């Protein structure tokens, strides 16, 4: 995808972590995290981004057509633009996963892979969500050999071939539209008789002669030889089993929040595991803020634009928290 980052050795990361206390450590580098980094820099906060993977789910998105000012762009290209904006402000982005966050007096310690510990006055969690898998026989066996979770990454490999997209939401619809630019035939396999995607996608899919929607179907098994060749489907109403011959299957069936991590660090969640946040993106732990898809904000309306907005709000809230703490006796 061409994300350009200056790589650091483990020793260099540890030296950097020991260099001092940051104003804010941002954990995550999707639209929420990158937006938070831009605004934190504009507030003159000493900031660093810890990125498990650049871009989060947007890096796996097909075409993005609802971001203001950009008529159409692929997810990876949009992430690259955001990343360049962050780099313009000279905010360091370091690869690694956050393992734990502990409070030591007025300072948080963010423990990451590689043994680095970053100290900070505030933390912004922009952890996103984790894509769900089908959990059926053959999925792991054919992962990377026909089974994919990233349409923009792998679509060019299926030029002129037959593929299936499993799911019925926005991400599935977006993937199907993108794949139709490459594949000779795209099947959407959806367990219900109506898509959950936004109305615009209904029209785009209906108008595309390469896309066929298979209603009331679920994948129960994936088969092949060296490569994936078949998806075994079950009708959710009749129970009838059918065979769909495909060269690729793209899985887009939703995602889960990092509930375990939130519980580990003491951040309160809702029943589904999303971080509870206030209007300023504050969590139940003073000094820790959260933004983007990992939160319960915006009534579940999880879009790139809302994630970016939450990142900006979280950065401003972190700034106010630091200023307030500095003025305290």
Catalytic residue numbers? 150, 153-154
Please report the sign of the dihedral spanned by the C-alpha atoms of residue 325, residue 323, residue 48, residue 126.
positive
Give the number of other CB atoms < 10 A from CB of residue 42. Answer: 13
Give the number of other CB atoms < 10 A from CB of residue 202. Answer: 14
Give the number of other CB atoms < 10 A from CB of residue 250. Answer: 31
Q: In this structure, what are the phi and psi dihedrals at residue 312, rounded to the nearest 5 degrees? A: -65, -45
What distance separates the 2 farthest-apart alpha carbons in the chain?
Answer: 71
8 A C-beta contact, residue 245 and residue 163: no
Angle, CA 238 vertex, CA 234 and CA 244 arms, to 5°:
30
């Amino acid at each position: 995808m061409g994300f350009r980052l200056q790589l650091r050795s483990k020793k260099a990361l540890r030296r950097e972590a020991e260099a001092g206390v940051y104003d804010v450590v941002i954990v995550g580098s999707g639209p929420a995290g990158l937006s938070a980094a831009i605004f934190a820099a504009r507030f003159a906060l000493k900031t660093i981004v810890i990125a498990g993977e650049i871009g989060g789910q947007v890096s796996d998105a097909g075409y993005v057509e609802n971001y203001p000012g950009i008529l159409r762009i692929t997810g990876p290209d949009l992430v690259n633009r955001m990343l360049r904006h962050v780099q313009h402000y000279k905010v360091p982005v370091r690869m690694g996963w956050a393992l734990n966050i502990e409070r030591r007096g007025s300072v948080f310690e963010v423990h990451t892979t590689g043994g680095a510990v970053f100290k900070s006055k505030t933390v912004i969690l922009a952890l996103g969500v984790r894509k769900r898998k089908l959990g059926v026989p053959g999925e792991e066996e054919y992962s990377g050999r026909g089974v994919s979770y990233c349409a923009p990454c792998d679509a060019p490999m299926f030029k002129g071939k037959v593929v299936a997209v499993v799911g019925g939401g926005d991400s599935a619809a977006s993937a199907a539209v993108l794949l139709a630019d490459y594949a000779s035939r795209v099947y959407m396999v959806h367990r219900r008789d109506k898509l959950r995607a936004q109305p615009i996608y209904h029209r785009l899919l209906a108008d595309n002669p390469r896309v066929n929607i298979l209603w009331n179907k679920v994948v129960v098994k994936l088969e092949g030889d060296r490569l994936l060749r078949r998806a075994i489907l079950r009708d959710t109403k009749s129970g009838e089993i059918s065979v769909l011959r495909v060269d690729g299957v793209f899985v887009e069936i939703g995602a889960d929040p990092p509930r375990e991590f939130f519980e580990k660090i003491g951040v309160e969640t809702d029943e589904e595991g999303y971080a509870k946040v206030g209007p300023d993106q504050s969590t139940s732990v003073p000094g820790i803020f959260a933004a983007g898809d990992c939160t319960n904000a915006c009534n579940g309306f999880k879009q790139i634009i809302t994630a970016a907005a939450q990142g900006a709000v979280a950065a401003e809230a972190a700034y106010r928290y630091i200023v307030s703490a500095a003025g305290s006796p």
